[in-house]
Chains A and B, each alone.
Chain A
Amino acid sequence: MTDNTAGPDHITGPTPDNALRDADRAAAGGPMLAADGTPLKKSLARALRRQKLRALGLIAPLLIFVLITFVIPIGDMLLRSIKNDIVADTLPRTVQSLSDWDAEAQDLPGEDVWTDFYIDMWFAAERKEHTRLGTRLNYELTGVSSLFRKTGRRVDRFDTDIYTDQFIALDPGWEEPQTWAAMLGDGPASDVLPLTAGAWEDWKAFNVEEGDKVLEEDVPDLMYTALYHELSQGADVSGLSDRLAAAGEAVGGFETVSLREQFADADEDWLDPEVWQIIQLYSPRVTPGYFANAADMQVTPDGVEARPENQRIYGMLFQRTLFMSLMITGSCILLGYPVAWLLANLPMRTANLLMILVLLPFWTSLLVRTSAWKVMLQQQGVINDVLVWLGLVADDARLTMINNQFGTIVAMTHILLPFMILPMYSVMQTIPPSYLRAAKSLGATNWTAFWRVYFPQSVPGIGAGSILVFILAIGYYITPEIVGGNTGTFISNRIAYHISSSLNWGLAAALGSILLVVVLVLYWAYDKIVGIDNVKLG
């Protein structure tokens, strides 16, 4: 696998670069001229530049292709592991008003927040976004999902219509959308009543999304609630319009309804400060929450802290992935070393024949090999059958070799063994057999000759093979999924689970990012030790 012969960067001969260097050396005695009269240095520099551009031009299409179809998607995944737009997008007002709330005090937020939350929830429920938000927050606090779902169904039927009725009783003009449009269109009213104006903008936008005309729709209760809330908080509406001024006078005597009670009515969990803490904690658009989760920790108002003992699984999974990858790498070394040695020391013809036995598994579909191991290892499988037939194992005590760590390690050792043998083989081929004979003739025992002379020279092959096998093993998904059962799965199986079953994509991205960092460090090491352009196949 290693090949350190002249790479394209060490070419001797008449290349522009070499000629340029020569010209540099010769420049001491005045400028040398090329055939067309320009200084030789300049003309060579131009040729060199053209050559570089041509090389880049040839590479560019592929580089752009790989960047777009591969590098950007990976970068996108990395971003996703910290991105948390959903809370701030779904509950914009609540997030803002909740930011001043003191989570430590264990008090429930004030009526401001409840009003904002009512408006946000109303729109979220209309747009069916509240369930998504509930699912997202459910990852952090169990039970939030059903809380949001339940409330979403109720928020439309809150008793806030008493404000509607009272405003209309005061002045029938309040029933007309035109009144609201004229009042909040622009001008001073929207400055004095920011909440109401904002709600109106959202209502207009919502109607556009639905393809409705805002002037033909009934004004929703939440507009009256928002207006009431702002007027009762003492918004200064004097001098705006008579209707508004009259309403401002009258709100003091309005019959009121507590939104907090309404929410508590829908689900009493709203009275639990913990729910509000979670909403506040996850309101920023960037969160360390997924990474904390992936490291078996959680974000709390006091900072990041470890999860309770019984909820930690990822640390264990990462440990298991590392342990099993090491086991697989180790058994590949143990099995690959003798074979590579044999192949490197046999006559060419025999070695080529035996090489087919190594290359055939390498070329055979991964799923074929995995299904073959299922056939071999299962309780009614070939190995158990043979053992029972030979009488070595009782029929009712068949060995359990599949759906556990053993199965995964055996199957993956088999699958990755060629990746160990091939680099080892190409390194061992370069070790002259005469060294061993020389060592022995100088009095070394067999073991000393091997251990002190041969083995050190074969270490680069072991290193190259090990890193390759380890990198491949650590991210394996298919084989552990099929033969791993519950105890033999890797972190990648968990990532796949989060992508396709639990739909916790942020967590999947965070787990993937951690795994990617590990692999990239190994990749870097591989590049340093072996050199990535020295990889050879087949």
Chain B
Amino acid sequence: MAEELVVKTGRPGMMRFTVPVVGGLGLILGFLTGNVVGAPWLGLILGALIGAVLGYGLNAMVPNKALGRWGVILVFALVGMLTGGLGGALGGAIIGAIISWFAYWIGRGTYRDDVPIYATPGQTLWWNFFLFLCGAIFIFLITPILVVMPLSFNAENFFTFTPEMLRLDPEGYSLKHYRDFFQTDDWQLALKNSLVIAPIATIISVSLGTLAAIGLSQSHVPGRRAIMAILISPMIVPLIISATGMFFFYSTLGNFLEGSIGMSKSLVGYIKVILAHAVLGIPFVIITVTATLVGFDRSLTRAAANMGADPVTTFFRVQMPLILPGVISGGLFAFITSFDEVVVVLFVGSAAQKTLPWQMFIGLREQISPTILAVATILVVISIALLTTVELLRRRSERLRGLSPG
């Protein structure tokens, strides 16, 4: 028995396992690479051979993993450079990285690290297949967002990678779409509108939403369930229905504000869009703030009252600092809702209230310009910043409320 265990935890058999498996991957990569240059079968055989040689060579002769991997990457990149220029070098380096990683991963038995020692080969295979599957899903999730970024530096007015871009030729890249974004009146108006509408809508939904969330978390609220259902409904009702309803109602409201009160047309337009966006952001504020309040220690407010603080002081000095992270992340959700929203603004607003998403939507439907991708890249950067903020706030909130140790 003991002998068997040693065999299983040790390195897999070189000739029986490592060489054929790495050769197999080489075969597939070789076939694909061969296909590119038009000789798939030659590529297949060469790939299998190279894979087998690497599988043996790296594991048997290059114990220093970093050295082995960088060596393979360099050699593959050089070969790629000779056949396909800078782009070829990149492709070669990628293939080299994959095959050298795979060779060590298989050869050293790293692939068994995450499964229990008693797992059968079938279970190990399944586990690793499962990991690859999840990896593929993660790639599915993230690739579209990553692909947008390099394309936004396209020197041409296309949505596609040009041959120059693939060769990593500097000529193929430019900042002109960013210049376009910052210098076109249409885009600047849209940006300005977005920056006016979203913050005001956020302030409305956060202030009203926080008050209501505090009210909802009191111990006795008549009709709590029904109230909650109404307050969450803007998130659940499909946007197209909200937009349809608002389209009819807000045009009546707009006519009233313009006709009877005598407000200017553009001001009324902004009011309509801001009100619509504020109500769409409210469910997010309610949800995040009530979630924060669930962990709120009620004896703190009683202690404050006990020491003579009036309710307002208690709220601002005791309760507010503790629930602030929840309030801010609710506000960020509300902000991003408004900042991203396009259906309602299309229906309720007029051209003067054109927001960034609106302009992007028109761009996607009518004239397809990579300026959209430049804007998209900027927005991705903004969302990364927001995501980081929310994540940090969540951790801080958990720490404050003592939910997690770190």
Contacts and interface: CB of A to CB of B under 8 A. Distances in A.
Contacts of A357: 138, 141-142
A512 B360 CA distance: 25
B220 A74 contact: no
A74 B232 contact: no
Nearest to B302: A14
A338 B92 CA distance: 32
> Counting chain B CB atoms within 10 Å of each CB, which of A5, A62, A335, A500 scores highest?
A62
Interface residues of B, number: 104
B228 A516 contact: no
Nearest to B204: A65
B365 interface: yes
B161 A385 contact: yes
A382 interface: yes
A499 B364 contact: no
Contacts of B38: 391
A37 interface: no
Contacts of B372: 371
Given A9-B224, A375-B147, A537-B287, A65 B141 contact: no
Contacts of B394: 538
Contact of B145 (A54, A360, A391): A360
Interface of B: 32, 35-36, 38, 40, 123, 126, 130-131, 133-134, 137-138, 140-145, 147-148, 151, 158-161, 204, 208-209, 211-212, 214-222, 224-225, 227-234, 236-250, 275-276, 278-279, 282, 284, 287-288, 290-291, 293-294, 298, 329, 333, 336, 339-340, 342-343, 347, 357, 360-361, 364-365, 368, 372-373, 376, 379-380, 383-384, 386-387, 390-391, 394
A104 to B, nearest CB: 36
B228 A533 contact: yes
Contact of B140 (A48, A335, A374): A335
Contact of B212 (A52, A63, A371, A471): A63
A135 interface: no
Given A70-B233, A515-B238, A364 B145 contact: yes
Interface of A: 3, 5-9, 11, 13, 15-17, 48, 51-52, 54-59, 61-63, 65-67, 69-77, 80, 335, 338-339, 342, 354, 356-361, 363-376, 378, 380-382, 385, 389-392, 414, 417-418, 446, 471-472, 474-478, 481-482, 492, 495-496, 499-500, 505, 508-509, 512, 515-516, 519, 523, 526-527, 532-533, 535-538
A363 B376 contact: no
A527 B235 CA distance: 13
Given A15-B219, A475-B240, A519-B237, A66 B279 contact: yes
* Secondary structure class of chain B's binding surface, majority of residues: helix
Which 5 A-B pairs rank lowest in CB-CB distance, beginning with the nearest?
Answer: A475-B238, A58-B215, A391-B35, A73-B249, A372-B144
Contacts of A359: 387, 391
A538 B236 CA distance: 17
B231 A62 contact: yes
A76 B249 contact: yes
